[in-house]
Amino acid sequence: MRLTKILLAVILPLTAVCQQVDRKITLDDLFNGKFNENGIDVITPMNDGLHYAVIENDTKIVKYSYETGKKVAILASVEQFGDSTINYFTNFKFDRSESKIIFFSDWQYIYRRSFTAKFYVWDIAAQRLTAVSDERRQQVATLSPDGTKVAYVSDNNLYIKNLADGAETQVTTDGLKNSIINGIPDWVYEEEFEYNTAYCWSPDSRNLAWCRFDESAVPTYSFSMFAGREPEHAENKLYPSDYTYKYPKAGECNSVVTVWNYNLDNQQKTQIDVGPETDQYIPRITWSPAGKLVVYRLNRLQNNLELLYADAQTGATEKFYDETNKYYIDESYFDFLTFNADGSKFLIVSERDGWSHIYLHKADGTLLNQVTKGEWDVTDFYGFDEPTNTVFYQSAERGAAVRDVYSVKTDGTDKKQISKDLGTNNCVFSKGFKYYIREFSNAKTPTIYTLHERSGKLIRTLEDNQALAAILKTWQFSPKEFLQFTTPDGISLNAWMVKPYDFNPAKKYPVLMVQYSGPNSQEVLDEFEVGWEQVMAANGYIVFCCDGRGTGARGEAFRKVTYLQIGKYELADQLNAANYLKLLPYIDANRVGIWGWSFGGFMVLNCLTQGNGTFKAGIAVAPVTNWRYYDNIYTERFMRTPQENAAGYDDNSPITHAADLQGNLLLIHGSADDNVHWQNSAEMCEALVQAGKQFDYFVYTNRNHSIYGGNTRMHLYNKMLQFVLEKL
């Protein structure tokens, strides 16, 4: 569960610079896109390391030169297709030779990362468009590395299409809704292991490996979908429809996951040996350059990760990497595994020394070297340049609120800081690492995109958002001010504050605190944003955000201190933050409020029920109210099962403390939240009612965890604004 930021509006072109000076920022301004940044389309580096491809104006895929910035060729255009149903590109991928492009249109979301769509393959040289299937909608279609075939999933079954003759092979036939899934993850894997494709082609295109999820024993969850305004529900005006799916709550059964391989030469299917244990996770499969299938095996407690090499033809496996953590293995490192060209070495990110760092191993798992070292965390891994033995990564070396990009040799020498500006830096490197595009912003600087040579030399600025910077000079924009304070326990915490534009230190101001507080999350980052905090500042409130214990980029001990007691230390630190604020001379100590979404909503409820009147008001949006109600992969990672840790679940549940509610509460939820179920708020509501506590409660019909669609998001923020103005 990761919902650290809520988008307020779709991206729209910047309006002309407003000539009125010092206008206050309103919700209307945020939602009409007035302060949206210009970005650049997602860049796909090309194999030669000299060019990149990008979607242009949503209608063309264009090849550009890094060195000159000039357009080299139009690789695909909707005008070339002669198909009126394809009006724009949203994404694309090449095959290995970059002779074919696969893309999709007419996509429809299922959950956060999953969707169905109509996929197409464009042969660049032949100028030929091929629909992946005219018979069925598809999921996660991918080209084989040699570009001759496409694999895809439809109705929980895996298919292969031969592009030369159009022949299709149905690899699996047992797919069944709420029972058997082939090639895509089940709900909880998709959400908590953060991926949507559970199959992969071998490098030689002769094998297709996949995960099979048997979720027949997983309990189901249902919610009603009302007629509302959605066309797909319009026929249910008298009786709502029920949406039912498999959702394993903490302590409940998971899917039994098996791994299979299909050999295209002999049409044989082989089950891969992942061991006798079935109550375990298979969060990834991939292939090494040497042609070995790599299987990730994670135990139910998620504190032991094993990597297996598999012989795809016999199914035999051998373990080559084994890591145990006294808390848990962080799932965000799974996609950082990187092999060298011949598969004789690999790089992996681990917390084995108490900080997240990069390690180099032989193919058999023998440790060769710890590549990065220090009391700071690696926060992203960009890749490995084998000819120069150089690793490229992002880290928080200059402080948890800052991100920089570095390079270093695999033996730990010749470390270079690539980014210099203080703030948040991210890079996209060309193949071969000759060029990179840097994305930079800080609290006062809208995002700047620049193209550089490997040496750091600036080639050109791609987008500097100077138009937005000029607009902000004519509005009451108050950048975040970063600070640190020390709790009574001696813990130094990072925070930011946004003050009203006309701040007067002689006055007393009410405060609205905002936080998320979830494990390894961060809200205190030096990056650009114009959000709801500006609206609240325009209405005379100071907005304050503190990253308490459990949050990221400060080492394992800091972020994992909350293990088995989710909510305990996070609550203490939000109360410490509120008490720190109340001592400041310009704060009205009687008017401190707090709000949060998802995990942040859970924290708001704990602050109001266990805070002994610290907060005058709070808004909890889509909150977890007892971790027994949330999914098992996320929850058990930090809490183990309710059977093992009942007190950890119940002692930190706001439902347990409902009778102690103090302050004004606004509780909000979407009725169709597939992630944090409406059940959470319903149970909290009942506990408060039985305790005789008055509060405000609002439910958004048919809305999921993000609570958006039509006028919904504007309505939500207006409701919260009016509540704060009235109650705080």
* 438 and 495 belong to one structural domain: no
166-181 pLDDT tens trace: 999 999 999 999 999 9
* 410 and 377 belong to one structural domain: yes
* 379 and 527 belong to one structural domain: no
3-state secondary structure 110-127: CCCCCEEEEEEEEECCCC
Helices (runs of H) and strands (runs of E) counted in the chain:
12, 44
251 domain residue, yes or no? no
Q: What is the CATH number of the domain that holds 587?
A: 3.40.50.1820
User: What is the token pair recorded at 135?
Assistant: 């018979």
Among the candidates 464, 489, 516, a domain finishes at 464
437-457 pLDDT tens trace: 999 999 999 999 999 999 999
CB count within 10 Å of CB 469 equals 17
In the block, which residue shows the tokens 């800091």? 558
* 460 and 494 belong to one structural domain: no
Sheet hosting strand 367-370, strand order edge to edge: 338-339, 345-350, 357-362, 367-370
* 488 and 376 belong to one structural domain: no
Residues 6+ apart with CB under 8 A from 673: 223, 622, 703, 704, 705
136 domain residue, yes or no? no
84-103 pLDDT tens trace: 789 888 899 999 999 999 99
Largest alpha-carbon pair distance within the chain? 81
CB count within 10 Å of CB 249 equals 20
Catalytic residue among 95, 377, 573, 673: 673
445 domain residue, yes or no? yes
pLDDT of residue 374: 98
Among the candidates 433, 464, 495, a domain finishes at 464
Q: How far is the C-alpha of 363 from the C-alpha of 288, rounded, in Å?
A: 10
Task: Give me the mean pLDDT over the 461-486 stretch.
Answer: 96
**Residue 598 falls in the annotated catalytic set:** yes
* 432 and 513 belong to one structural domain: no
Give the chain's domain count.
Answer: 2
Tell the burial category of 684 from Cβ atoms under 10 Å away from its Cβ (0-12, 13-18, 19+): buried
Task: Give me the mean pLDDT over the 490-494 stretch.
Answer: 97
- pLDDT interval class at 5 (50, 70, 90): very low
411 domain residue, yes or no? yes
pLDDT of residue 159: 98
Catalytic residue among 357, 677, 705, 706: 705
Cα 406 to its chain centre, rounded Å, is 23
126-176 pLDDT tens trace: 999 999 998 899 999 999 999 999 999 999 999 999 999 999 999 999 999
3-state secondary structure 177-242: CCCEEECCCCHHHHHHCCCCCCEEECCCCCEEEEEEEECCCCCEEEEEECCCCCHHHCCCCCCCEE
107-126 pLDDT tens trace: 899 999 999 999 999 999 99
pLDDT of residue 82: 82
Among the candidates 464, 498, 515, a domain finishes at 464
* 522 and 617 belong to one structural domain: yes
Question: DSSP letter at 411?
Answer: T
pTM: 0.94
Domain of residue 567: give its range: 479-727
pLDDT of residue 41: 86
297-337 pLDDT tens trace: 999 999 999 999 999 999 999 999 999 999 999 999 999 99
* 521 and 666 belong to one structural domain: yes
Of 47, 37, 42, 48, nearest to 61 (Cα)? 42
Check if the beta carbon of residue 299 is closer than 8 Å to that of residue 280.
yes
* 378 and 447 belong to one structural domain: yes
Helix (H, G, I), strand (E, B) or coil at 446: strand
Q: What is the CATH number of the domain that holds 396?
A: 2.120.10.30
Bridge-based pairing of strands 293-299 and 435-442 is unpaired
- pLDDT interval class at 235 (50, 70, 90): low
* 484 and 575 belong to one structural domain: yes
702 domain residue, yes or no? yes
180 domain residue, yes or no? no
175 domain residue, yes or no? no
Statement: residue 10 has pLDDT above 90: no
Q: How far is the C-alpha of 498 from the C-alpha of 506, rounded, in Å?
A: 17
* 603 and 716 belong to one structural domain: yes
* 525 and 487 belong to one structural domain: yes
Catalytic residue among 598, 653, 671, 681: 598
569 domain residue, yes or no? yes
